[in-house]
Amino acid sequence: MSEPDKKEITPEEAPENGKGIRNSGNTSETGNRKTKGSIHRLLLLSVGAFQDFDLAAVYVSDAQYNRNIFFDTTPQAIRLYLLYNHWGFQILVYAFILVDLALAIFEDPAVVPLPIWVTSVIELVCLAAFTARLVHYAKVIPRERFWKDPKNICIFAIILLSLVDMIIYGALKASGFYAVRWSRVLRPLLLVNITEGRQLRRAFRSIRNALPQILYVFLLFMFSVLMFSLMALKLFGKRGLKTIEGRPYFTNYLEIVFDLYVLVTTANSPDIMMPAYNFSVYFAVFFITYILINTYIFMSVFLAVVYNNYKKYLKEEVRKLVRAKRHKMVRAFGVLQERKGEEEPVVSQACWNQLVRLVQPDISNAHRELLWSVSDDNNKGCIGKVAFVQLADLLNIQVIMMKSRPHPLKTWLPSLYLSSPSRLVCRMVQHKAFMYTYDLIILVNAVFIGLDEEDPLIANVEWAFLVLYLLEILLKLYSFEPRAFFSRHQFWNCDLSLILDIVFILRILRLIRVVDNIKRFRAIINTLIKIGPTILTFGQLIVVVYYIFAMVGMELFKGKIRFFEANSTDPDKAFCGNALLKNSVFAKHNYCKNNFNNIVSSFILLLELTVVNQCGFTAVTHISARMFFVLFHIVVVIIIINIFIAFVLEAFFVEYTVDQSNLQSSLEKKIEELELGVKQEKLDGNLVDAMETNDNDMGNSESTKEKPALMFKIACKRYKTVDGLLQRMFEADLDPENFADDEDFDPNNPSNLNFPNPNFDSV
């Protein structure tokens, strides 16, 4: 352990340090405290207790969001650390990174050209912001640790290199030389190396760890491609065949290798086969064997190997993560614990309450009490270590609280609202048939949308539909408590139909509601929504890789191909402004806009390359530029896309096989016990529907039994953070009760905690 870390309260020291300073929130507990050494502790009480609560709250919050930062435990450092974790700063950092990355739009080759001094000033501002953030971080953690962490060194190097590059570039440009802004390639690495980029770093680490295994398969695959190329050379080389473009067919070994590699991506099928096939049917056997072995079998093996290894390393990381989380919770427990006689140390409810209030200020009292009753299952008034450690996960379970209140109209105009016609309307709207009617209306509307809009009749019908939809909204507002309809933003996370009710103005999207009403579809859609946050991580991964390839591609290929507007009369238009493309398929297909002339078209082109490795424009430059495309295919298609597929597979398997985590079940059981549950059977269908039914039971006096005014429901099994889903995936392999393995877990070994900070996806 490095020197400054000694300041931290380890679980072993904690009992001495934190025993007496309990209950600043609830004085009734003081009687139980031991009096040994109380004078010394009373001196500390006024200042120390608050500081201790702060420290415990930071530990819990870190555990909740899986931050792994070894901050100093001095009060100032904690305050700085809290500031560092403030969401405002985190958003600001991402904003600056976004601006820095977006500079590529304005820099040469630019979409919107700006003078160099403008982009340079903006970049300097960004770099200053990153430096400030880095300095802030350095103040929070011990100095030795700061320089041991590769990501800090990385950011420092990126800032430094960018400055150097800017100076060199400015100087060269000023003196009229050719210059390359090579440091732009480094920009996306900021996304990876900031403290908030934990998910992204984990993804990169998993990829790096899986690489050796992938490499073996890749070598075997390349061997197969090389062998087939050799056979192709021997089979076709001397037959004097011509490609459709009139070039000799399969005569150059390296070109064959490239062509056959592209065949694996199926991009040039069947063109590459046609000359041989036209010559003799038997030659088709060669290509069929090739496709079978390399496209189908090897690509499946890639998926298998990537999947298996990625999963293996990810599991290991999640295991470490869970241990680190437990460790932090044990520390927090150590700060707050008190001993009653010879019993195990415990944390009292008052103490726990204050902690939770500090960690999550916006939590309601009812919700907090529910969590406490889950932790303190036997109503002892205090909880032990095992129950305390659950807190971080409990706070991550989204619980929906519903206050049932009467409809405002019932309060304001009870005679009118409770009259029989009004009740009839309410009952009508709450009936299933009402929903089905509107589903039908939407479907009919869909047909009209598909029809020709020019017809004035259809345009008028469109208005009629709009009136119908407005009527639906009004009727629902009349029947149901409006706040239940609008203000439950927690529902949005989980229930698509409510969002869609609001964005109904987009007529076409309304169609999704019909699908959403069907239970089977809803299960699939829910799974897709659940993996949403993780797809964001993959999105960042893709952006990092695309950005780097775009930067390199722009330097290699910019200006080689030009796009001419449709009404242009330039004779160069026929061959995209490059004579090398005369009569090429590329020009004939009018692909001229697929170029590297600016960052936007680069990104679109790279996406096309991801879909089909179409690389006709290697013709415009040296043949070795093909390496660029092969490399891109290996990195993006073979590795990243396969990992993405593996992730979707795993997420779906988890959905199919497991239902809820243990903690969720116990929370739900408690809700049931306390009879605070929203009726489950009604929630199986449409959530809005269920909500409506419940509100209806409240609103109408006919309801046989008075329900409690407050009801809870666990928000659909979604995960607030990516970590939640990951932890869920590997829960079967993680023993939640096993604290024994924490003993051999050394938090001071940096390799054990090589994953820092909060995650972007949960923001």
Distance CA 534, CA 647 (A): 9
**Do residues 723 and 536 make contact, with C-beta atoms less than 8 angstroms apart?**
no
Among 160, 611, 627, 732, binds a copy of itself (CB under 8 A): 611
Smallest distance, a copy of itself to C-beta of residue 307, A: 7
User: If binding is defined by CB under 8 A, does position 570 make contact with a copy of itself?
Assistant: no
Smallest distance from a copy of itself to CB 213, Å: 9
Instruction: Pick the closer one to a copy of itself by CB: 583 or 662.
Output: 583
Pick the binder of a copy of itself from 36, 234, 340, 432 (CB under 8 A).
Answer: 234
Phi, then psi, of 476 in degrees rounded to 5: -65, -40
Cβ atoms of 84 and 136 closer than 8 Å: yes
Q: Which two tokens stand for residue 8?
A: 């931290």
- Is the CB of residue 32 less than 8 Å from the CB of residue 338? yes
Nearest approach, Cβ of residue 217 and a copy of itself (Å): 6
From 278, 419, 568, 703, residue interacting with a copy of itself (rule: CB under 8 A): 278
Does residue 459 bind a copy of itself (CB under 8 A)? Answer: no
The angle, 0 to 180 degrees and rounded to 10, between the axes of the packed helices 642-657 and 722-729 is 70
Return the residues of window 287-316 that contact a copy of itself according to CB under 8 A.
Answer: 288, 291, 295-297, 300-301, 303-305, 307-308
Under 8 Å between Cβ of 197 and 536 = no
Closest distance to a copy of itself from the beta carbon of 308 (Å): 5
6, 403, 589, 669: which one binds a copy of itself (CB under 8 A): 589
Nearer to a copy of itself, 237 or 736 (CB): 237
Of 166 and 654, which has the nearer Cβ to a copy of itself?
654
Applying CB under 8 A, among 53, 71, 169, 591 the residue interacting with a copy of itself is 591
- Which amino acid belongs to residue 49? A
CB of 624 to a copy of itself, least distance (A): 19
Any contact of residue 503 with a copy of itself (CB under 8 A)?
no
> Is 110 an interacting residue with respect to a copy of itself (CB under 8 A)?
no
Number of residues in contact with a copy of itself under rule CB under 8 A: 73
Rounded to a whole number of angstroms, the minimum distance from the CB of residue 284 to a copy of itself is 5
Cα–Cα nearest to 545, from 204, 215, 306, 310 = 204
Closest approach of a copy of itself to the CB of residue 523, in Å: 8
Hey, what are 246's tokens? Answer: 């009139």
377-381 contact pairs (CB < 8 A, 24+): 377/670, 380/346, 381/348, 381/349
Asked whether the beta carbons of 609 and 629 are under 8 A apart, the reply is yes
Site for a copy of itself in 531-560 (CB under 8 A): 535
Task: Kindly tell me which of 66 and 540 has the beta carbon lying closer to a copy of itself.
Answer: 540
* Rounded Cα–Cα distance for residues 431 and 693 (Å): 9
| Residue-wise DSSP of 730-756 | TGGGS-TT--GGGTT--TTSGGGG---
Q: How far is CA 139 from the centre of its chain?
A: 29
The Cα–Cα gap between 681 and 655 comes to 20
The answer to whether 697 touches 707, Cβ cutoff 8 Å, is: yes
Q: Which stretch binds a copy of itself (CB under 8 A): 63-71, 276-284, 386-394, 543-551?
A: 276-284
Q: Whose structure tokens read 């949960």?
A: 762
* Residue 669: partners with Cβ closer than 8 Å, 6 or more residues away: none
Closer of 220 and 627 to a copy of itself (Cβ):
220
69: Cβ contacts below 8 Å, ≥ 6 apart: 62, 81, 140, 141, 195, 756, 757
Interactions with a copy of itself, residue window 242-271 (CB under 8 A): 244, 253, 266, 269-271
Site residues for a copy of itself, window 641-680 (CB under 8 A)? 641, 644-645, 648-649, 651-653, 656
Interface residue with a copy of itself among 457, 505, 508, 740 (CB under 8 A) is: 508
